[in-house]
Every structure is written in C-alpha cells, then in structure tokens.
Amino acid sequence: MKKQHTKLLSAALAAGVCLALILSSCFALPASAKTADGKTVIVLDPGHGGEETGAVKPPFVEKFLSLYLAQWVQVFLSSYDNVEVDLTHPGDTDMSLKERVDYAKSVNADFFACLHFNASSGEPSRSGAEVYITIDPSLFPQEAFFAQTELDELSALGLDVRGIKFRIGTNGDYYGITRRCTAYGIESALIEHCFLDAAKDRAFLGNGDSSALQLSLQTLAYADADAIAKHLRLKSSNTGVDYTNYTDPAITWPVLPYSASN
C-alpha cells in the first residue's frame, strides 16, 4: 500500500495537479513523534538574520519581522504542557541553513517551523499566505495537513491564501530547509505569511505604524502557535486549551507546484 501511495504522489507531482483528493483518500496522519520522556520539541526558525536581510520593502525588513514573530510564537507555545520550544537563533545573527537544521536535529525536534514574509519582485498584485512542504512521500501527507490548518488560521485573519506549495530542485526539495529536515526525518513547514509589497498585506501590518505592526505580528504569532498546537495535539493545563483529540481538516486549499507566475 505504501508503494502505491508513493507512485500516486510521484505521478501527481510530475503532472503538477491538485493533490487534495489523494491526500484525503489515501493517507492517515500518524501520531506525532515525541522524545523518550514524552516531551514535544518544537524548533522555530526566524527567516534570515545578520547580513541576510530577506525582503526589504520600507518600512518593513523581513529579518526583523520574522525574529519578532518567532519570539511571540515561542511565548504562546510555551504555555502548553510538556513542550520545549527553541529558536534556531534568538537574535539578529548570521546562521546557515545547515546550521539551523542541524540545531533542530541536536535537540531532537519533532517539528520545525521556518517563518518568513514574502515579496513579489515588482508584481504588487500578489498578496497573501502560502506554506511550502516537502515532496518526499514519507512526510508529505502530515505536512500537507499542517499546512491546511495553518492556512485556515491565516485565512481567518483576513489574509488571502495562495495555497499549499512544493518546489522541486535537482536534489529533491528545492529549499534547503525542507530538504535537510526531511533527510533527518523532522516534519517541517516554510510559512510565507504575507507580501511586504502588497497593499492589502501592508495594511494588515499597519502600513508602517509601529504599534499596529506589533499587534499584527502578535496576532500572526498566535495563529501560528494555534496551528502548531492543533497539529501536534497539545494541551495546556494553564489555559484549558486541549487539542488532544484534534481531527485534521480535509484538504481544501489548492496543493500546487511552485511557479514564477503563481
């Protein structure tokens, strides 16, 4: 049966078709892996840092937004029971993709969330959120279910949804984060929250007003934390939130290959 699933997925990837039906009918989400003591380890990776600024669309600079966002996601997730939440880098520092994933491996991460903001390179008509996942059949199904949950959360905030995305490179996954995480057996997702040069998304971020920006980033952080908590079936004795019996939603967002035109 696993071989049949792999063939179906490979054929769909090659054709670039929507995979929602395959995901809904062929795969069941396995129980989340945990360390020997039952602790769930989550690693948050603020995109870019140091000399690598990421997208710069004044007044927004991606490396600062992603770091602030990650710090708040860590705060919200830390309220759950028996959870360890680490940042790959807690400050504005340089760190290679290899170092980020190797760090996650060193702490036995169960889940790796890479947090980013997007830019359209001169095409301001683009807006909204997208989540990139692996093309490897061993982790593709559960990562797709997480992406659905994450995009549901972001859509509820009023952001457009661009879909669940994958990108194929010469050595498997195009993105080093997903490729290296998959090689280590770590479930991962690269979340592009919104476009820093789209009028709608800039308005969501407060159009440069610092107080409004902080509130928007904290709102995004809560959405990220909630999606991760649901996906990993976390429970918080402090807040009373209990996702132990959370059921994955059907895949309704489009599952699409990367394209320069979409």
pLDDT class of 260 with cuts at 50, 70, 90: confident
Give me the pLDDT at residue 37, please.
66
In DSSP terms, 112 is beta-bridged to 43, 188
Q: What share of the chain is helix, strand, coil (3-state, %, to 5)?
A: 40, 20, 40
Classify 243 as helix, strand or coil.
coil
Query: Dihedral (C-alpha) 208, 214, 219, 220: value to the nearest 10 degrees?
Result: 70
What is the model's pTM?
0.88
Q: How far apart are CA 62 and CA 1, in angstroms?
A: 43
3-state secondary structure at position 160? coil
pLDDT tens sequence across 14-50? 544 444 444 444 444 444 455 556 899 999 999 999 9
Residue 38 CB partners (closer than 8 Å, separation 6+): 82
Dist CA 78 CA 208 (whole Å): 29
Domain 2-257 has CATH 3.40.630.40: yes
What is the pLDDT at residue 28?
46
| Average pLDDT of the chain, as a whole number | 89
Q: What is the pLDDT of residues 118-152, one digit of tens each?
A: 998 766 578 999 999 999 999 999 999 999 999 99
